[in-house]
Structures are given as structure tokens and as C-alpha cells.
Chains A and B, each alone.
Chain A
Amino acid sequence: MHVLPYLVAAYVFLTGCYGLAASRNLIHAVGCLAVCQCATYVLLLAVGYRDGATAPVFSDVKPGSRPVVDPVVQALTLTDIVVGATVTALLLALVLQIAKRHGTIDPDELRELRG
């Protein structure tokens, strides 16, 4: 339990990398990149967790009555999620153009840029 969340994050990251390298379809590859990014969310939030603590929102918890988890990593993760969504969108837009110009989205068949 002490290291499980970290190991899961590392595993998810490497799995995503494998999928990215082995992908036969560029849309699938972009999806794998999104998987890689999930690893960063898990790692960040795991780092900020504190046993027995509550969410750092004080609308119904009296300040100081209970420990709270680290709010900074949550803010970082929020930023990270936006970054992920936008990168996915932009890469998908590029994949669509590749489909139009090359007639395929299989990376093995894209043979223009070599050497």
C-alpha cells in the first residue's frame, strides 16, 4: 500500500508508451498518449495525499478541525488535465489532416519523411 499508487502511475506511463510505440493507427496512438498522461494525474495526487485527511474545501468543514490533503497538487492536476485535453484535440486535428492527405492513418504506411 505504501508504494502501490506510485507503482501504478509508473506502470500506466510505461503501458502508454508501449501502446504509442506499437500502435498501428494514429487515432489509437493519440489515445495511448492520453493514457500516458493519466499516469501524471495519479502520481501527482498520490504524492499529495495525507492519511485520514479531508478535501481542502472549507465550506462545511471548520478550518483547523481536520487535516486536509495537499491542495497544490490538485491545482497542478487540474492544469494538467486541461493541457491533456487540448493536446489530444490538436493532435487529433493533425491526424484528420493526415487521413486526408495520405489516405491512411497507419504509421507503417506513412513513408514520406525518411532519411
Chain B
Amino acid sequence: MHHLIPLLAAVPLFGAALLVATGRRLSRAAAEITGFVFSGGTAALALVLLLNSAPPMTEWVGGWLPVDAESVGILVVGDGPALGMAALASLLTLAALAYSWRYFDQPPRERTGSFTALMLVFQGAMCGFAVAGDLFNAFVFFELMSVVAYALTGYRIDEAKAVQGALAFGVVNSLGAYAMLMGIALLYARTGELAMAKIGRGLDAAAGPGGPDALVLASFVLVLTGLLVKATAVPFHFWLPDAHAVAPTPVCMLLSGVMVELGSYGVWRVYGTVFAGPGGIPAADLTRALVTLGTLTAVTGAVMCWYQRHIKRLLACSTVAHTGLFLVGLGVLTPEGDDGVALYLLGHAGVKAALFACAGVLLDRFGSVDEHALHGRARRLRATGVMFAVGAAALAGLPPFGTALGKAVAEEAVGGPLTAVYVVVSAITGGAVLRVTARVFLGLGPRPQEAEYEISGSDEEPETSGRLRRIPDTMTTVPAVLLAASLAVGVVPGFGALVARSVNEAGSGGAHASVHWTGHGLLLDAASTVLAAALAGLAVTRPRRAAAPDRAAPLRRLQSGHVGDYVAWLLVGAAFLGALALPGVLGG
């Protein structure tokens, strides 16, 4: 069975190559069916492997089995989290392909399958990154994922914002990836190995009595910079609102639903395998770094989210906020925290993708995703409105959605004031989306007055060729299925426990935590949902007081759209990360 793990990356790549090779002769339907077959096949493979992932599998690509515990090959891991992320990426790709069935403009002449092919490569890259057990291999797939994502973000070349957002995305992410590669080179210099587990052991062996030195710290900072750029931690996050707001909607579903989360997953994997030992970064320092950055990210994301009126940008900012919550949950380094984040991540992926899918419907119907311009205009889109409201509530943490279960478990793990961060941040993001629902789909409240805004989102070009006569069924079915899946994460009995077991089995701790609904958790979930509803109500009835744009102006001005600023922030972020993790090195 373990021989099949590398095929998770290979199968979609093969599909993509086949599509390009035959692209000129295929009809659009044939190309899209080919895409479905390969994407679905990979998803099925990922699920089969996932069901067989206890105990965790490993595979040496090329059959280079270790001799005397030394191998020259590349390790791929097939444990629960790795295969789970691969399955999540595959299923979301399948959903995005289904969603884009009738969605796009006619594909460019003679390039029928190119969008589908790019999506397939994206899927392969995400799967490859998820199962990578070798640091350089992880970098290769990380870069592949980025390259495809730039191209997909800029896919609508007629749109000025799309190409600009894609370039900011490209420059910042590439720089992050190069920083990561510098870190890998430093680790190789110290240990002479590339497999993550071997590097971890090498660091422990090389560590003197004083513990980690500056070299370990620098490699930690550089590698994490790359991953955190992808995960959009503050202050590496600036590219995300620019890119996610302008990418085609099916691509947004993947970017926000799973690619960003793969960054957090990478942090978890790399810290747990490489830096968790005595020669790595002490746990207290990692907790300080991740909790600080995570809290900053969550709060910044929530504030940015609340003050947006461009709906896709609002959803993108809410992804930033939730990434912050994931990082906080991972940062406390407890099995419960990991379990909670895993469930939260699964629930969030479904909800966020569904919300983007609904925003895509608005874009198609009205050529606009501007909350103010659309005020009351979408009353007739009942199904979409209901789904938008349900998604908003799930984002805020309405039980029994998967987001609520994950949030409750993570809240219990972090404890203390961090619990309040969870409640407030999820309430604000949920409240912002509820506010949009109330205004756009119900027409509640006074029509907001025009204010001086930089990005309104009212002059977007629709992505469909002209206006479709009616909304294709796929465009309403896909978000419904995604929401149902997110619900299932929370309600299917035993699913939470299953996820928790496989995460803990793969984690270094070995401790097992039990995951179930608790009264305490339900109470907190209810609190954040009610808070979200209250915030939304306040914003709709008293738009002036609750949503005055100038309060967040300093924060919003930082989001300048200037690539140079983003690069400067990246350097500051790397230095900050180093400062946060410094005490362990100095104290040792």
C-alpha cells in the first residue's frame, strides 16, 4: 500500500500533462471530464490510503530503503495528518472543478484544457507537499504549489487588479521560499542530511551542553519564514487579501480553503520533526513565537475583515484571522491543541470554500461583490442567501458544525485569555459575513452611505461569458455539499475521535487526547455565535457607529498594495520571529 503514496502527486500531474498534450483536439467537455477523472481518482486514492494509515506508513521513493538506518532516497510519509491534508486538497480541488463546470468564460482558443490542467498540477503539488518527509522535497513541492497559484491568480489577464495581486503574491511567496531554502542549506551544513527526521536527530547529536546556537535559530527563522508567508501570519500576510480577492472564484476556494492551511500544517510538521528535540528550539520559545504571531494575526485579520466591503476581500481577511487562531492552537504544543486545530481546519475549509462559491454566484449575477452596491439586490437568490447565512454562522462557531467542535477543543487547550481571542475573533469574522448576508440578501437596514473607499468591488468583471441564463446547478450544489461536509465533521459520531487519534499518533508527543463536545465548549460556541449576531445587527441598524471606516484607517493604510512594502514587512517579520525565539538561545 505504501508504494502508492508518491502517486498522490504523480497522478494529477499525469492528467495535466495529458490534457496539455491533447489540448488542441479536445472539446471543453472532454477536457473537463478528464480533469474530473484524474482529480477524483487522486481523491479516491488519498481516501483509501487514509483509511489504511494506522499505523502510519512511510515510503522511500525509488526503493532506496535505509541500509544501517541511512538512505540516499527521499522519504514520504503516510500518516494521518499528511494523508488527511492530501485528501482535503484533493476533495476541494474536485469541488472547485465541479463548481467551474459551466462557470468560466470560453477558454482561450486552442487551449481548452489549460485551466483544468493548472488545477490538476495545483492538486498534485498540494498532495506532494502534504506527504513530504524530506525538507528539500517539501521545498520543491512548496514552490510548485506557489508557481501554479501565481498563474491561476492572474488567470483573468483582462483584469488590472488580478495581475497586480498575482505579482505581489508571486514576489512575496518566492522570497519566502528562497528564505526557506537558505534555512535548509544551513541545516544541511550542520547535519549533512535532508530527511526531516534525520535532521532533527542530527541537531540533537550536534547540540552542545549549551543547547541550540545561532545557527539553529537562524535556520528555524528562515524555514519558518517561508512557511509563515504561505500561512499568512502577520506581518507576512499582506499578499493574501490582494491575491485572494482577485483570483477566479474556484481558485479562491482552493487558496483559502486549503493552500494557506498547508502553511500552518507545514509549521506543525517541521517543528514537530525537525526542531522539537533538545538540539532544536525549546518549546517555550516556540510557544512564545507562535502564540504572539498567531494572536497578532487573528486580531489584525478580524479587524481588516470587519472593515471590508468587497465581499471576496472580506472573506480573504477572515482567512487571515482564522490562520491566526490555528497558529495559536498549534503553538501551545498540546495534543488537544493539535486535535482542535485539525478539526477546526477541516470545518473551516468546507465553510470558507462554500462562502467563496456563494460570492462567485453574486459576481456572476450582478457583476459586483460590493456589499454596499448590492444592498438588497440579491433578495431573489434565496438558496444562496441561506447558504451564506449558514456559512457565516458556522464561521462564528455555531454548533454542531466542524468549526464549532474544533474551536471548542482548541479553546479548551489554549485556556485563559487566549480563549477570549478565539471567541472574539470568530465572532467578528462571522459577524462580518452575517452583516453582508443581512444587507445583500435581505436588504435590511439603511442603505450605507457612500464613503471614500479604495476598494469597492463594484467594477469587477463577471467571470462567466455574458450572464448565464440561470445559475448552473453545480454552482449551488457545490457550496451546499461543502457546508454539509463541514457539518458532518462536527456531527458524525466518532469522526472527531478518529481525527484526534491519527493526529496524535503522528505527533511527537504520543499522548492521546479525547475529543468530544463538552458543555463548556458548547457554551463558548453559543457565546461567539450570539456575539456575531449582535455585531451584525448593530452594524446593520447603526452603520455609522459600528462600521466607521476611519477607526481602522492606520491598519488599512499598511495594506498599501506596494510590493516593496510587503518585502520590507517580510524582513521585519523574520527579524521579529528571531527576536521571539531568541531567549532560548541566549539562556542556554
Contacts and interface: CB of A to CB of B under 8 A. Distances in A.
Interface in A1-42: 9, 13, 17, 20-23, 26, 29-30, 33, 36-37, 39-40
Contact of A29 (B154, B160, B171): B171
B213 interface: no
Interface residues of A, number: 42
B567 A17 contact: yes
A71 B154 CA distance: 38
Interface string B165-209: 111101100110010011001101100001000000000000000
Specify which of B159, B171, B182 lies most central, judged by the most chain A CB atoms within 10 Å of its CB.
B171
- The secondary-structure label for the interface of chain A is helix
Contact of A72 (B154, B194, B308, B455): B194
B488 interface: no
A40 B185 contact: yes
Contacts of A110: 164, 561-562
Contacts of B561: 110-114
B556 interface: yes
A40 to B, nearest CB: 5
Interface stretch (B43-51, B143-151, B438-446, B496-504): B143-151
A107 interface: yes
A114 B171 contact: no
- The secondary-structure label for the interface of chain B is helix
Nearest to B568: A21
Interface band, chain B: 35 or more
A99 to B, nearest CB: 9
Contacts of B567: 17, 20-21
B167 A26 contact: yes
Contact of A94 (B166, B454, B565, B571): B166
Contact of A115 (B136, B150, B453): B453
Given A21-B568, A29-B171, A94-B150, A114 B560 contact: yes
Nearest to A47: B189
Given A21-B567, A98-B164, A91 B185 contact: no
B424 interface: no
The 4 A-B residue pairs whose C-beta atoms are closest, nearest first, are A113-B561, A101-B160, A114-B454, A97-B163
Interface of A: 9, 13, 17, 20-23, 26, 29-30, 33, 36-37, 39-40, 43-44, 47, 72-73, 76, 79-80, 83, 86-87, 90-91, 94-95, 97-98, 101-102, 107-108, 110-115
Interface of B: 136, 140, 143, 147, 150-151, 154, 157-161, 163-168, 170-171, 174-175, 178, 181-182, 185-186, 188-189, 194, 241-242, 245-246, 307-308, 453-455, 556-557, 559-565, 567-568, 570-571
Given A94-B170, A102-B160, 6 more contacts: A40-B182, A44-B188, A79-B136, A94-B167, A102-B164, A110-B164
